[in-house]
Structure 1
Amino acid sequence: MIVLTHGESTGAGEPTDHLMVSDYRRAWTPATPEELLQKALRRRGRLHLWSSAPTKLYKSCMFDAPTPRPPQIHDPRLRTKAILNAYAIADAFSLFKEEPRNQQDLLHTQPPMKYVSNEMAAKYFIALCLVVAAVARPSDKYTDKYDNLNLDEILENKRLLLAYVNCILDKGKCSPEGKELKEHLQEAIETGCAKCTEAQEKGAYRAIEFLIKNELDIWHQLTDKFDHEGKWRKKYEDRARANGIVIPE
């Protein structure tokens, strides 16, 4: 980005309009139209184009036309990045020239471009952090994609039940739903199924009580893996006893 600053007088005898422009059609330092073009060319190493055609086109655009507009550039020699940048600045100048608000106030109230850039960059960074945090934040509930599975069919079919158990215990392959269960089982046990949907919570207690009552060996394997301290095992077994399930000592 080019930020042009006020330089020495051009000697043209024209009054200086204290306006502020830049390549982004905003500016923070005063300069005359001719200084803008001259400095733009100098910054791009094209100062030799300052004579004849560029100046004539620029002045005709800025001062002779009823409504300021970018000129048509027909000479291929003038179709360079430097000239196009110069006319972008000219167009910006024309926009500020037509602004009804007090341009001197703008000069004194707007901060330097570099500070605006830093401020905007900070805002974008904060916004990005918020978006990332929102995306990365764990979901309030586990997916309900598998809530319609027939749990009783799995529990009452020893082959299906063992397939899920072997998946959870890293002894066999996992189906998609088995993989989902395995991924969240540790957290679900430790939080009392806090992120479970209503169907999942009911299913979890149904499965736990079924295992305690009918497949105690499998229940012990699961608690040995996921509840080393026995804290949650005791909680769920006490609940099972309260529901009339007898657990062998």
Structure 2
Amino acid sequence: MIRLSYVMIISVILMCVLAEELYSDKYDNTDPMSILQNDKLRDEWYNCFMEKAPCPTEDAKFFQEIFSESLQTKCKKCTQRQKELQLIMKNWYEQNNPERWKALVTKSIEDMKKKNAGR
């Protein structure tokens, strides 16, 4: 009985340690199409992600902060909705503005190299 308790406690601890914490879902209700279909908003968000201008909203800032890691890790820490948002964004840019998508991917790679070099 005591061994079983220890096994259960160790199992719970391991599950907690191994479980990857997800990004906050605070902005999961963001509507990507309203941004992507509006030239001004799309440019503001793009410039935010590229760090060429301040982020126009708190949700833009949040997604800009997690973008490089989420893209490079295939959204490992994303909620299901964040995976959907990233796919919508990726598909839109690949179809409508592939040059900007390439720039975003290149920047995300550079950001992750800097982050990993700092470890």
TM-score for both structures, normalised by structure 1? 0.35
Which segments of 5 or more consecutive residues in structure 2 lack a partner in the other structure?
1-15, 111-119
Tell me which residue corresponds to 2:79.
Answer: 197
- Of 182, 194, 204 in structure 1, the residue corresponding to residue 64 of structure 2 is 182
- Of 203, 209, 212 in structure 1, the residue corresponding to residue 94 of structure 2 is 212
Tell me how far 1:167 sits from its aligned partner. 0.7
Tell me how far 1:151 sits from its aligned partner. 1.1
Compute the RMSD of aligned alpha carbons: 1.8
Question: Structure 1 or 2: larger helix share?
Answer: 2
Q: Which of 1 and 2 has higher RCO (CA within 8 Å, sep 6+)? A: 2
Moved over 6 A (4+): none
Amino acid at match of 1:225: K
Please list the CA deviations of residues 176-200 of structure 1 after superposition, one character each: whole Å capped at 9, or x if unmatched.
Answer: 1111111111110121001111111
**Distance (Å, rounded) in 2 between the aligned partners of 1:187 and 1:226:** 7
Which segments of 5 or more consecutive residues in structure 1 lack a partner in the other structure?
1-133, 229-249
Tell me how far 1:227 sits from its aligned partner. 2.5
**Distance (Å, rounded) in 2 between the aligned partners of 1:148 and 1:227:** 27
Tell me how far 1:204 sits from its aligned partner. 0.6
Q: Between Structure 1 and Structure 2, how many residues are aligned?
A: 92
Q: Identical aligned pairs, as a percentage?
A: 30
**Distance (Å, rounded) in 1 between the aligned partners of 2:108 and 2:72:** 9
Q: What is the 5 A alignment of 1:150-189?
A: 150-174=31-55, 175-189=57-71
Please list the CA deviations of residues 126-157 of structure 1 after superposition, one character each: whole Å capped at 9, or x if unmatched.
Answer: xxxxxxxx9xxxx7111111111111111111
Q: What is the 5 A alignment of 1:84-95?
A: none
- The answer (yes or no) to whether the contact 2:27–2:59 under 8 Å persists in 1 is yes
TM-score for both structures, normalised by structure 2? 0.71
